[in-house]
């Protein structure tokens, strides 16, 4: 039975040689039962530590972890009915693939005939039937990871934890296994938690994303929310490739409403949010995908530095006149060459506005509403 996972004020500190380091800082959230949640963030943000605490391999310094109604904070990893796939794959080198997959069942005392049946079924799903009698060392990296997934699959866990299982694989295998992992999620009655540093994996596979920043929760939401409604500049910049462009601006008095004034643009802003911010510096965030050579209400001139081709699209890396780094993703910018000047525009509705601490003040929809409310523009 899939179980929701609830973390309440979970904190993990490490003490080494007198210095203490907070790996996870008062994390509280509830991962819905049966969901596919990815924990994502840069190296050292505490995502693996969080996963290991859910697995029971680390004990929180404070706070509690519940699987459903059951408090598992101090329950041994053996007794949590979880399964885990490790970054290092961790197949037992002295056992055949079949024995590897069946090991958990053997420990649980399942008779051999039933074990074999379960292994055969898992092997069928993961297309590793031919490999069952081989030793792990004889398999390719992708096959080894399939075996690891199979081991988790046969155990019928409540909670399936995956710790960067694909970080050592090449891009093509990653794409294949991504599909495999999602198929397993459909077939299994388990809450899946997947740790990755690759935000593309997080955005494409999961239905919830937990983005961590130095041990703290940055945002926990469905992928589309992280993309369209980031709660901070950190989230906006971490999610999406290339990274969100950030343009410095200040809030000024413009006519009857506050206006966000940048080097090359002026965006009318709603009074209720900006009236008491007059004179403050803010940051306008705009995704490279929402910048295009024609169209848009606001314009930015970009001096082209490098152009990359990505299939049908092109990525322009450049700088604006004030030196801010700007990326543009569009199909129509392929002709641009280094040192060309390009004028690109964006709609206020696609922009984010962050205060000087990096917290989101508002998203584009509020800016658009503000404009339609002030007919002077």
Query: Contact with another protein (CB under 8 A): which of 90, 303, 366, 369?
Result: 90
Number of Cβ atoms within 10 Å of the Cβ of 159: 24
Q: How far is the CB of 147 from another protein (least distance, A)?
A: 12
91 or 304: CB nearest another protein: 91
By the 8 A CB rule, do 19 and 35 touch? Answer: no
Q: How far is the CB of 96 from another protein (least distance, A)?
A: 13
The Cα–Cα gap between 216 and 26 comes to 7
139 or 231: CB nearest another protein: 139
Nearest to 206 by CA among 218, 196, 217: 196
Q: How far is the CB of 88 from another protein (least distance, A)?
A: 5
Binding to another protein, residues 97-126 (CB under 8 A): 103-104, 107-108
Q: How far is the CB of 102 from another protein (least distance, A)?
A: 10
Nearest to 358 by CA among 265, 277, 285, 287: 285
Q: How far is the CB of 116 from another protein (least distance, A)?
A: 17
Nearest to 173 by CA among 199, 152, 145: 145
Q: How far is the CB of 2 from another protein (least distance, A)?
A: 17
Nearest to 262 by CA among 221, 313, 320: 320
By the 8 A CB rule, do 150 and 181 touch? Answer: no
52 or 363: CB nearest another protein: 52
What are the tokens at 219? Answer: 């945002």
Q: Per-residue x/- mask for another protein, residues 145 to 184, rule CB under 8 A? A: ------x---x-----------------------------
Binding to another protein, residues 336-365 (CB under 8 A): none
Rg (CA), the chain: 25
Taking contact as CB under 8 A, which single stretch among the options 38-46, 81-89, 174-182, 216-224 is the one that binds another protein?
A: 81-89
In this structure, the strands spanning 82-85 and 159-163 are parallel
β-bridge mates for residue 232, sequence order: 359
Binding to another protein, residues 10-69 (CB under 8 A): 55-57
> What does the binding site for another protein look like in residue numbers (CB under 8 A)?
55-57, 76-80, 82-84, 86-88, 90, 92-94, 103-104, 107-108, 151, 155
């Amino acid at each position: 039975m899939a179980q929701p996972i609830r973390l309440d004020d979970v904190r993990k500190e490490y003490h080494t040689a007198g210095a203490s380091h907070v790996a996870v800082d008062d994390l509280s959230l509830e991962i819905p039962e049966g969901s596919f949640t990815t924990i994502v963030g840069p190296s050292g943000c505490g995502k693996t530590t969080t996963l290991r605490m859910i697995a029971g391999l680390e004990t929180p310094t404070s706070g509690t972890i519940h699987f459903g109604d059951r408090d598992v904070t101090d329950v041994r990893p053996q007794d949590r009915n979880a399964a885990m796939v490790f970054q290092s794959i961790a197949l037992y080198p002295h056992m055949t693939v079949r024995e590897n997959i069946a090991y958990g069942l053997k420990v649980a005392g399942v008779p051999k005939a039933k074990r074999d049946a379960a292994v055969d079924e898992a092997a069928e799903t993961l297309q590793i039937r031919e490999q069952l009698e081989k030793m792990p060392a004889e398999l390719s990296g992708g096959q080894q990871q399939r075996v690891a997934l199979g081991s988790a699959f046969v155990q019928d866990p409540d909670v399936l934890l995956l710790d960067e299982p694909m970080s050592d694989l090449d891009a093509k295998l990653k794409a294949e296994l991504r599909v495999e992992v999602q198929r397993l999620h459909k077939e299994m009655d388990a809450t899946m938690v997947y740790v990755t540093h690759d935000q593309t994996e997080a955005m494409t596979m999961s239905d919830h994303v937990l983005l961590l920043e130095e041990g703290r929760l940055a945002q926990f939401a469905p992928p589309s929310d992280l993309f369209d409604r980031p709660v901070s500049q950190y989230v906006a910049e971490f999610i999406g490739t290339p990274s969100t462009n950030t343009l410095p601006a200040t809030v000024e008095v413009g006519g009857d409403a506050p206006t966000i004034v940048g080097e090359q643009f002026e965006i009318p802003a709603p009074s209720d949010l900006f009236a008491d911010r007059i004179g403050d510096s803010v940051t306008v965030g705009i995704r490279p995908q929402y910048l295009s050579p024609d169209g848009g209400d606001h314009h930015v001139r970009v001096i082209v530095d490098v152009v990359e081709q990505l299939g049908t699209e092109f990525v322009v890396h450049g700088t604006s006149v004030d030196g801010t780094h700007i990326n543009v993703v569009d199909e129509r910018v392929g002709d641009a060459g280094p040192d060309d000047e390009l004028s690109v525009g964006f709609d206020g509705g696609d922009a984010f506005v962050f205060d000087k601490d990096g917290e989101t003040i508002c998203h584009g929809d509020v800016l658009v509403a503000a404009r339609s409310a002030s007919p002077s523009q």
